[in-house]
Chains A and B, each alone.
Chain A
Amino acid sequence: MKKQYNLLVALFLVIFLAACGNESTNNTNTKDDDDSDTDEPITLTLFNADGEEKEFNDAVAQKITEETGVVLEFDYPVGGNEEAVPLMIASGDYPDLIFAKGDIGKLIEAGAVIKLDDLIEEKGSNLKAMYGDQLDRLRHSLEDPSIYTVGTYGVDSPVWEPSGTFQVQLDVLRELGYPEIKTLEDLEAALTEYVEKYPEIDGQKTIPLSLLGSDWRWLITVGDPAGFAAGLAGDGQWAVNDDTGEATYKFLLPEIKQYFKWLNGMNAKGLLDQESFTQTHDTYISKLSSGRVLAIADQNWNFGDADMALVADGKEWRTYAPLPVTLGEEYVHQGIKNYGYTGGWGIAISSTTEHQEKAFEFLDWMASEEAQILVNWGIEGVHYDVVDGERKMKEEDRNRMNTDANYGKETGVGYYVYPFPQWGIGAVDSSGQPITPNNEEQIIENLNAAEKEVLSEYSMDNWTDWFPPAEELGVSNHGQAFSYNIQAGSDLEIIMQKADDLTEQRITQAILGDPAEFDQAWDSMLEELEAMDIARANELMTQKTQDIMELWGTK
């Protein structure tokens, strides 16, 4: 359409002009240099790719300013704008701190961010203590093994809330007398039995299984559950051998085919929601909220709204339990695998800031025990009390935390954890207490009444007890393949994008097609994948994984 075209042209113009005007913009910023001597707090601008409009003035923020003399000013991409970082590079006008997520490679290439190695070595005692032997995981690449970013995810992050796998309604478990559900067949049998018993729920047709495969969420509700069922770890579209680093595009694997064949069967038997691949997220959430969907395969953060709505309506028995189902008993479910610190993303300090040292001191301070307690728990006496030497969240605060989506934004409690350096939910402070209120004990306490009852019927404490224990699965040597920084516009990225576009379409068509034609549809998809040189993508990804393992010293 005309408008887009004009926009694009305007963008070229901006880039063109900016490219010409580069020098002048760089020179204008050299004033107001040494304000670090005065008591006035320094304002650091932070670009947050996941940010939102927010003033740095809540209780926790004030405390941070008091301790560090830093006031943050947030900048964020409007409407999820993909152009924010490229435009930043084109204009040469950088904020002091940059959290660019996957775009960090472009900033490094443009020389927009500084190396942090020396700073960490000299004055990063908190960061060093926090990362410990995982420090190598921050390194950029084999060719350039410098550290540019810190933070994003917690260093010690065990999985206490299984997510992304199959989830079944609690009422199904109760009605069927708490059966063992280990395989897809068990699940199918349970759903079939329940639907026969209750063809309608609250006057509406019961939906045995609903997915959300109409947009990018295909990856989390269709693609990822296939990997889990086949006993693969959460590496996105890849199946990675954690010992050798060998990576295969996962849809080439026969066990993945087996999973989709099962889904195809589910569809033919009328157990799969007909709208699974056409509905929008809103429709999906409203369906789930009505309580008539028996099973889903989804990430907790994607259907959290429905969960809250169900609890608010008093339909706790319609909420979901995560299931460790696989294709067969011989597959080990990797649902609660510990991936270690995955590195990749983080906050960087720009090369144009005049407050380089201050910015680094701030980041280092955020990694201190004092800071971690402050950002996770809030202020003592205001948000939490110390009872018998243990931190306890105030009742009111805990309730708001679980039900009020604005709690963090208003009080600052928990708001400054991501994407800053964080110890992680599994960490403990120097007195042995959990560093965050989201520790396992609290998570269990926060489960709803129905969940607790089901757990006790199965004599478990938490859903994680259902899954093969994390200790047995070991810590991943390569992190998670989907969070790699893959060079923009590289062969690997292009082939991957094409392959993803193709598989999303062909697999969906195969699932909805006649079971008799499934094998044929699958084979022709494999042929198409071969034609777009998927073998080369496998090679490049293997290389990438092996490089990372070498860089991290985990090979």
Chain B
Amino acid sequence: MNQTSSNASNMPEASTIIESQVKPATQKKKYSKQNGKGFWKRLSTQKMLLLMALPFVIWLIIFKYIPVAGWTMAFQDYKPQFSVWEQDWVGWKHFKDLFNEPMFYRALENTLGMGILGLVFGTGSAIFFALLLNEMRFMALKKWTQTISYLPHFVSWVIVANIVITMLSPEGVINNILTGIGLIDSPINFMANPDMFWGIVTAADVWKETGWNAIIYLAAMAGVDPQLYEAAKVDGASRWRQMWHITLPSIRSVIIVLLILNIGNLINIGFEKQMLLGNNIVMEKALVIDLYALDYGIGMFRYSFGTAIGIFKSVISVILILICNGIAKRIGEGRVF
């Protein structure tokens, strides 16, 4: 799902987060004991590095921290024509409305459901695909396969959704094949079955993003020491054995870091897929939080309500990240902070 699709784009950002949070902490420890002079000296020797980091820190402040001031909207009856000081403050009203709304819980269930499915199958398929590619010895074919496999990533969801709907329609290719080989008697109307919707979304996402997501795992696999494989070969390990005992353990920390980051994004699965693939019959399975916020928040001029949903999502994300990070810490694997 989207968590996995945003792997690659998350990486630079994630590393800045790691650095910006790790750096000050370690520096503090090291230099608090020394006198001020040492600190300034160290600072001046690293000024180029700091200068290079500065634009990103500014970017982070402007686009990630200042907007948090907008959260005040959730506690007002926000009207855009008034300034911050003229708004009506209403306390927790919008949160109460939100938590009293059965539709919201349905949206939450769908979001988490599709999020988890996407995470499991998205990560699994990407690792599996990367393993297969990694084992390929014929370089030209490997490059071709890789290029072709990540092309769907660049196709808009609008187009993908149309392809999926057409293929799954009662007169579509899938039904023709299934009836052709005699698996079913009459065509199945896939898009009209709410119970299949999560699966269809997940499958479409896996098709679209597997190749793209595999890139990062492939890069990690390229860094595995070839001597390990040679030693394994000498010991008579088969290809499968090598994958299981060498490749996978070697990239374990990469997998876990990505997993943590993606779990934090579990709730931010967006709404394009659900909006484009969904229809009135499956809506109860397709309604996700972002879609709910769009229809019942912004779409109705209820900015405050929309903001309340946004805050709720952020809180859930932070909790999920903390939990996963704690687990990773306990099992002694690579972690985010």
Which residue on chain B has the smallest CB distance to residue A1?
A: B270
| Cα A343 to Cα B324 with chains together (Å) | 57
Which residue on chain B has the smallest CB distance to residue A13?
A: B67
Selected contact of A4 from candidates B66, B271, B295, CB within 8 Å: B271
Known: A5-B310, A213-B280, A278-B281. A111 touches B81 (CB 8 A): yes
Residue in B84, B303, B310 whose Cβ sees the most chain A Cβ within 10 Å? B303
Is B189 touching A274 in the complex (CB atoms < 8 A)?
A: yes
Does A22 make an interface contact (CB < 8 A)? Answer: yes
| Cα A347 to Cα B83 with chains together (Å) | 27
Contacts of B99 in A (CB 8 A): none
Is B300 touching A214 in the complex (CB atoms < 8 A)?
A: no
Stretch in contact with the other chain, from A27-35, A366-374, A460-468, A496-504 = A496-504
Is A12 touching B300 in the complex (CB atoms < 8 A)?
A: no
Mark contacts of A83-95 with chain B using CB atoms, 8 A cut-off: 1 yes-contact digit, 0 otherwise. Answer: 1001101101000
| Cα A5 to Cα B305 with chains together (Å) | 15
Contacts of B6 in A (CB 8 A): 1-2
Contacts of B169 in A (CB 8 A): 275, 278-279, 283
Selected contact of B189 from candidates A82, A109, A215, A278, CB within 8 Å: A278
Does A10 make an interface contact (CB < 8 A)? Answer: yes
Selected contact of B66 from candidates A13, A112, A215, CB within 8 Å: A13
Min Cβ gap B193→A in Å is 10
Selected contact of A19 from candidates B80, B279, B310, CB within 8 Å: B80
Is A2 touching B63 in the complex (CB atoms < 8 A)?
A: no
Contacts of A498 in B (CB 8 A): 103
Q: Scan residues 9-28 of chain A and give those whose CB is less than 8 A from a CB of chain B.
A: 9-10, 12-13, 15-16, 19-20, 22
Known: A19-B83, A275-B170, A497-B295. A1 touches B283 (CB 8 A): no
| Cα A138 to Cα B186 with chains together (Å) | 56
Is B192 touching A278 in the complex (CB atoms < 8 A)?
A: yes
| Cα A109 to Cα B301 with chains together (Å) | 13
Does A218 make an interface contact (CB < 8 A)? Answer: yes
Does B260 make an interface contact (CB < 8 A)? Answer: no
Is A2 touching B268 in the complex (CB atoms < 8 A)?
A: yes
Q: Scan residues 262-277 of chain A and give those whose CB is less than 8 A from a CB of chain B.
A: 274-275, 277
Is A110 touching B192 in the complex (CB atoms < 8 A)?
A: no
| Cα A112 to Cα B189 with chains together (Å) | 50
Q: Scan residues 465-504 of chain A and give those whose CB is less than 8 A from a CB of chain B.
A: 488-489, 493-494, 497-498, 501, 504
Mark contacts of B247-281 with chain A using CB atoms, 8 A cut-off: 1 yes-contact digit, 0 otherwise. Answer: 00000000000000000010011111000000111
Known: A1-B6, A16-B69, A16-B84. A109 touches B79 (CB 8 A): yes
Q: Scan residues 204-243 of chain A and give those whose CB is less than 8 A from a CB of chain B.
A: 213-215, 218
| Cα A35 to Cα B310 with chains together (Å) | 48
Is B302 touching A512 in the complex (CB atoms < 8 A)?
A: no
Selected contact of A1 from candidates B2, B73, B192, B305, CB within 8 Å: B2
Selected contact of B265 from candidates A2, A22, A274, A505, CB within 8 Å: A2
Does B199 make an interface contact (CB < 8 A)? Answer: no
Does A6 make an interface contact (CB < 8 A)? Answer: yes
| Cα A512 to Cα B282 with chains together (Å) | 12
Contacts of B281 in A (CB 8 A): 277-278, 505, 508-509, 512
Main secondary structure of the interface of B (DSSP, over half): helix
Does B171 make an interface contact (CB < 8 A)? Answer: yes
| Cα A505 to Cα B103 with chains together (Å) | 14
Does B162 make an interface contact (CB < 8 A)? Answer: yes
| Cα A489 to Cα B79 with chains together (Å) | 11
Does A446 make an interface contact (CB < 8 A)? Answer: no
Min Cβ gap A276→B in Å is 9
| Cα A274 to Cα B172 with chains together (Å) | 12
Is A505 touching B280 in the complex (CB atoms < 8 A)?
A: yes
Is B301 touching A86 in the complex (CB atoms < 8 A)?
A: yes
Selected contact of A488 from candidates B165, B171, B300, CB within 8 Å: B300
Does B209 make an interface contact (CB < 8 A)? Answer: no
Is A278 touching B279 in the complex (CB atoms < 8 A)?
A: yes
| Cα A106 to Cα B192 with chains together (Å) | 38
Does A53 make an interface contact (CB < 8 A)? Answer: no
Interface size on A, as a range, is 35 or more
Which residue on chain A has the smallest CB distance to residue B295?
A: A497
Known: A110-B80, A505-B284. A82 touches B298 (CB 8 A): yes
Contacts of A403 in B (CB 8 A): none
Does A456 make an interface contact (CB < 8 A)? Answer: no
Is A274 touching B170 in the complex (CB atoms < 8 A)?
A: yes
Contacts of B279 in A (CB 8 A): 213-215, 277-278
Contacts of B9 in A (CB 8 A): 2
Contacts of B303 in A (CB 8 A): 15, 86
Is B162 touching A83 in the complex (CB atoms < 8 A)?
A: no
Does B128 make an interface contact (CB < 8 A)? Answer: no
Does A201 make an interface contact (CB < 8 A)? Answer: no
Is B67 touching A9 in the complex (CB atoms < 8 A)?
A: yes
| Cα A282 to Cα B270 with chains together (Å) | 25
| Cα A277 to Cα B169 with chains together (Å) | 11
Is B170 touching A20 in the complex (CB atoms < 8 A)?
A: no
Mark contacts of A46-83 with chain B using CB atoms, 8 A cut-off: 1 yes-contact digit, 0 otherwise. Answer: 00000000000000000000000000000000000011
| Cα A16 to Cα B67 with chains together (Å) | 8
| Cα A512 to Cα B193 with chains together (Å) | 10
| Cα A111 to Cα B295 with chains together (Å) | 26
Contacts of B170 in A (CB 8 A): 274-275
Q: Scan residues 182-213 of chain B and give those whose CB is less than 8 A from a CB of chain A.
A: 187, 189, 191-192
| Cα A519 to Cα B298 with chains together (Å) | 36
Selected contact of B80 from candidates A20, A89, A279, CB within 8 Å: A89
Is A508 touching B66 in the complex (CB atoms < 8 A)?
A: no
Is B70 touching A12 in the complex (CB atoms < 8 A)?
A: yes
Is B299 touching A82 in the complex (CB atoms < 8 A)?
A: yes
Does B240 make an interface contact (CB < 8 A)? Answer: no
Does A280 make an interface contact (CB < 8 A)? Answer: yes
Does B166 make an interface contact (CB < 8 A)? Answer: yes
| Cα A215 to Cα B278 with chains together (Å) | 8
Does B82 make an interface contact (CB < 8 A)? Answer: yes
Which residue on chain A has the smallest CB distance to residue B71?
A: A12
Is A8 touching B310 in the complex (CB atoms < 8 A)?
A: yes
Contacts of A86 in B (CB 8 A): 80, 301, 303
| Cα A106 to Cα B162 with chains together (Å) | 36
Is B83 touching A489 in the complex (CB atoms < 8 A)?
A: no
Mark contacts of A246-288 with chain B using CB atoms, 8 A cut-off: 1 yes-contact digit, 0 otherwise. Answer: 0000000000000000000000000000110111101100000
Does A3 make an interface contact (CB < 8 A)? Answer: yes
| Cα A109 to Cα B82 with chains together (Å) | 11
| Cα A8 to Cα B297 with chains together (Å) | 12
Which residue on chain A has the smallest CB distance to residue B275?
A: A215
Is B280 touching A277 in the complex (CB atoms < 8 A)?
A: yes
Does B110 make an interface contact (CB < 8 A)? Answer: no
Contacts of B310 in A (CB 8 A): 5, 8
Is B283 touching A505 in the complex (CB atoms < 8 A)?
A: yes
Which residue on chain A has the smallest CB distance to residue B81?
A: A110
Min Cβ gap B79→A in Å is 7
Min Cβ gap A65→B in Å is 33
Contacts of A274 in B (CB 8 A): 170, 187, 189
| Cα A357 to Cα B192 with chains together (Å) | 56
| Cα A215 to Cα B283 with chains together (Å) | 10
Contacts of A106 in B (CB 8 A): 301
Which residue on chain A has the smallest CB distance to residue B305?
A: A489
Pairs A–B under 8 Å by Cβ, sample size 20: A1-B269, A1-B272, A2-B268, A3-B270, A9-B67, A9-B70, A12-B69, A12-B70, A12-B307, A19-B80, A20-B83, A106-B301, A215-B279, A275-B171, A277-B280, A280-B162, A283-B169, A493-B300, A504-B283, A508-B281
10 closest A-B pairs by beta carbon, nearest first, are A1-B270, A12-B70, A488-B301, A110-B81, A214-B279, A90-B80, A9-B67, A278-B191, A504-B280, A489-B302
Query: Assuming A277-B192, A501-B295, what are 11 further A-B pairs, CB within 8 angstroms?
Result: A1-B270, A1-B271, A2-B9, A19-B80, A82-B298, A89-B81, A112-B81, A218-B280, A274-B189, A489-B305, A504-B283
